[in-house]
Amino acid sequence: MRRYDTGRRPSPRAVAVVAVVLTVLIGTAVWLLGSGGPTDSPDDSTSGQRTAATPDISHDAPTSAPPDGVVLPEGTDQVDGHPTGFPASDLGPVAAQVAIARAQAGFDYDQAAQVAGIYAAPEARDVLEDRSRAAVAQRREQAGVADTGEVPAPVSYAVTPIAFTVAELDSGTYAVSLLSYVSLTDAKGTNGDFLYSGTQLFNWIDDDWKVVQGTKADIDQLTTTGQPAAAAPGTPEYEDAGWIAIRGEHQ
């Protein structure tokens, strides 16, 4: 997880809440610098193993960033209003992660757990639901609101994914890094805007892309290769990181 400050200066409390939220932003286990890590999976774990009927995954993601960005595929189905049924291409897990990030940005415990349950692999569901609830609790605390109940104005939190990278690991698991624009208003009305990056692991399971915890080998490979840093579009750092813009999103 990497942060880039866009210039609007939040209070220390606002900084803390954004850091907490992004640690478990979408209720998943693999933010390399967040909670969870290599110890979450045993050395020989097959967490989130791909199904026997896994199709050939097409490679539609560009190897270099096109000037106009990339249009992500849409899901062909929905669960409780959330898009599912993403295609068997390397853009499929990117589209899934974007959908999760958009959905997991509130202060409601049950809604956060529900989203985690929709997109998590079956064997990781309980862990990811618990973490999503914990993230909401910490988010509320750092925003200066009560543990339960309605969140009063002007408190708000929004995430806009703007760019990605995607890579197939040696195990066949896909690592998706997402660069997002985060906007937070805390209970005192202080606004803070940031860019954050984080990485999630996906496997093709039951004809769709599901978030997995990954094996120790997966985590070790990600740690060795490193992950793209958060950087503003148009900067040399953004280009060096290899970010690919999502067409139509905030730039």
Within-domain flag for 233: yes
Within-domain flag for 251: no
Between 167 and 42, where is the model more confident? 167
The 10 Å Cβ neighbour count of residue 9 is 12
Residue 244: pLDDT above 80?
yes
User: For residue 103, what are the domain limits?
Assistant: 2-50+59-245
Within-domain flag for 119: yes
Closest CA relative to residue 111, chosen from 121, 100, 98: 100
How far apart CA 42 and CA 20 sit, in angstroms, is: 26
Within-domain flag for 8: yes
Which residues have a Cβ under 8 Å from the Cβ of 111 and sit 6 or more positions away? Answer: 103
- Report helix, strand or coil for 41: coil
How far apart CA 209 and CA 201 sit, in angstroms, is: 10
Within-domain flag for 158: yes
Which residues have a Cβ under 8 Å from the Cβ of 66 and sit 6 or more positions away? Answer: 244
Q: What is the pLDDT of residue 237?
A: 97
Q: What share of the chain in percent tops pLDDT 90?
A: 61
Within-domain flag for 250: no
- Report helix, strand or coil for 148: coil
Handedness of CA 197, 198, 203, 205 (dihedral sign): negative
Closest CA relative to residue 26, chosen from 112, 144, 89, 154: 112
Please state, rounded to an integer, the average pLDDT across all residues of the chain. 81
Secondary structure (DSSP) of 113-140: HHHHHHHB-GGGHHHHHHHHHHHHHHHH
Within-domain flag for 185: yes
Q: Is 225 left (phi over 0), alpha (psi -120 to 50) or beta?
A: alpha
Tell me the pLDDT tens digit for each residue of 85-103. 999 999 999 999 999 999 9
Tell me the pLDDT tens digit for each residue of 216-225. 999 999 999 9
Within-domain flag for 37: yes
Place 13 in a pLDDT band, splitting at 50, 70 and 90: very low
Residue 231, amino acid: A
Q: How far is CA 4 from CA 18, 19, 187, 189, in A?
A: 12, 11, 23, 21
Q: Specify the number of domains making up the chain.
A: 1
End-to-end CA distance of the chain: 20
